Amino acid sequence: MLDWKSLSSMVASIIFIRSLIREFMPPEVTQFLKLLSIKLFSSVRTNISILIDEYDSNYSNELFDSIQAYLSAKCFSTVQILKLSKPKNSKNLTFTMESNQKVQDNFQGIPLKWTLCTHEKKSSGYGYGAGRSYETHHFKLSFHKKHKQMIHSLYLPYVIEEATRIKFKNRERRIYSNSSSDEYGRPWGKVPFLHPSNFDTLALDPALKEEIKADLSKFVSRRDYYTRVGRAWKRGYLLYGPPGTGKTSLIAAIANYLEFDIYDLELTAVSSNSQLRKLLIATSSKSVIVVEDVDCSLDLSDRKNKEKKPKGEGEDGEEGEEKKKKKKNKEEAKSTHSTVSLSGVLNFVDGLWSSCVGERLMIFTTNHKDKLDAALLRPGRMDKHIYLGHCKFQAFRILAKNYLDIDDHELMKEVEEVLPTAEMTPADIAEIFMSCNDDVELGMRNALEEMKKRAAALAEKKMEKEKKIEMEGVEKEKVVTEEDVTEKNEEKMKGEEKKDEELKA
């Protein structure tokens, strides 16, 4: 047995030999012995560790941030002391670990251990603050060495992907516009409000709603597919229909559904194709890029349509004064400034600019689909054409629920009968409901009255039109009959002249 006396003399001898080695052994030999001992120990050690520093040559290490985000979701259930914070631009509270806390993870049955370690460092360089000590952190991931390859090729990419998903989920959604100025000279200015519309509040045929949601879900889940077929991960929607049928509301609902940012692209404020390209490169992944009233933004019509006269105002029903003004401004800008060409826009839709990764949904809106160039409309550019028309009964019920908080009403039956003939937009109905200050009876009565008025006006207009066509028909017939008579008379006269000549002869 080893007693205290012999133990202390053994320690003293080790210290003596160590100092002798340090003193007399050449540094190369010391280094060699060190490496040898590491090798010997590592061959018997079963666990290995990976360290991820908070800073990578003075720059913050993105991987460290990702791991922090990944573990914030895990540590709540396993760690005893947690830090709670609300990071900037995040809508949720975030938990983080304290120093030296450990989190157990499990990946495909492999146990893994994460530890947050803290250590002190001295700042290098000269001048103010040089030589000061500060705290930095690193994450230590420990696991059995036989899983090394798997951790590298599967687990770490999985952690990064999960962290991106968590970060994105926590992030506040934003709306940007290229026409609102940015004090920092960035291409996109932030718009300070979010549109509250979502698929529940949207007055739309339920089947169409489900179809759009399914299409969106399929699109965002097909990253591998787009990579495999070598195409930019983007999809184009064209929303068309009369004003006030919910095109803008649908865009907001889509962005809220996907939790994507919105980039409202005002083409008339873009001075060249190269500026357009720059703007698009500056968009983030998971975004909806919107070009509203594309027929007014650019001269995108083909030659055939250019020859057509512009349609008269008010053709699609009453437009809000504000929207009319906006469209007029766009028309003016189109004729004076814009130099973005159709090919520039087509390149953008084709995704040629897309050196950026991540999914992007492009949505164009128009009140006049017939004015658009066929090249812009073809699949691959506009993958889905969605017509938003006048309000139907199902949509009316949704509006009644939203604005008046009713599921049913005694006037509903009548509404169902009159509505299809009234050609009212959801905006018209929303306006009536809003003006009656939560008074259900008044709201329903006013809506039905307006429907009847419009239906009667339309019926009268239709009758007048039919009468006009009928009259035109009668006029035509009259002309034809008169022509017939003249023709017959002429023939008769010719016949008589011939007879006279024969008699003379």
Binding site for ligand ATP (CB under 6 A): 202-204, 243-249, 323, 367, 426-427, 430
220: left (phi over 0), alpha (psi -120 to 50) or beta: alpha
Residue 365 CB, shortest distance to ligand ATP, in Å, is 6
> What is the number of alpha carbons within 13 Å of residue 258 lying toward its C-beta?
26
Residue 274 CB, shortest distance to ligand ATP, in Å, is 29
Residue 325 CB, shortest distance to ligand ATP, in Å, is 12
Residue 98 CB, shortest distance to ligand ATP, in Å, is 48
Residue 192 CB, shortest distance to ligand ATP, in Å, is 18
Q: How big, in percent rounded to 5, are the helix, strand and coil portions of the chain? A: 55, 15, 30
Q: Please state whether beta strands 94-97 and 82-85 pair in parallel, antiparallel, or not at all (unpaired).
A: antiparallel
**138-173: b (≥16 Cβ within 10 Å) or e:** bbebebeeebeeebeeebbeebbeebbebbeebbeb
Residue 345 CB, shortest distance to ligand ATP, in Å, is 19
Considering beta carbons, is residue 323 or 445 the nearer one to ligand ATP?
A: 323
The residue nearest ligand ATP at its CB is 246
Q: How far is Cα 265 from Cα 177, in angstroms, rounded to an integer?
A: 6
* CA 229-233-235 angle, 5° bins: 110
Considering beta carbons, is residue 75 or 203 the nearer one to ligand ATP?
A: 203
Both tokens of 11, joined, read: 């320690």
* Residue 156 backbone dihedrals phi, psi, to 5 degrees: -65, -45
Considering beta carbons, is residue 167 or 397 the nearer one to ligand ATP?
A: 397
Are the C-beta atoms of residues 460 and 494 closer than 8 Å to each other?
Answer: no
Considering beta carbons, is residue 103 or 399 the nearer one to ligand ATP?
A: 399
By residue count, the chain amounts to 505
Considering beta carbons, is residue 280 or 398 the nearer one to ligand ATP?
A: 398
Considering beta carbons, is residue 170 or 425 the nearer one to ligand ATP?
A: 425
Considering beta carbons, is residue 279 or 427 the nearer one to ligand ATP?
A: 427
Residue 195 CB, shortest distance to ligand ATP, in Å, is 8
Residue 335 CB, shortest distance to ligand ATP, in Å, is 21
Listed in sequence order, the residues at least 6 apart from 164 whose beta carbon sits closer than 8 Å to its beta carbon are 66
Are the C-beta atoms of residues 389 and 282 closer than 8 Å to each other?
Answer: no
Q: How far is Cα 458 from Cα 390, in angstroms, rounded to an integer?
A: 14
Burial-class residue 367 by CB neighbours within 10 Å (0-12, 13-18, 19+): buried
Q: Which residue has the tokens 């009667």?
A: 456
Residue 139 CB, shortest distance to ligand ATP, in Å, is 47
**Segments of 164-316 assigned E as strands:** 175-177, 189-191, 234-240, 261-264, 287-291
Considering beta carbons, is residue 198 or 284 the nearer one to ligand ATP?
A: 198
Considering beta carbons, is residue 370 or 500 the nearer one to ligand ATP?
A: 370
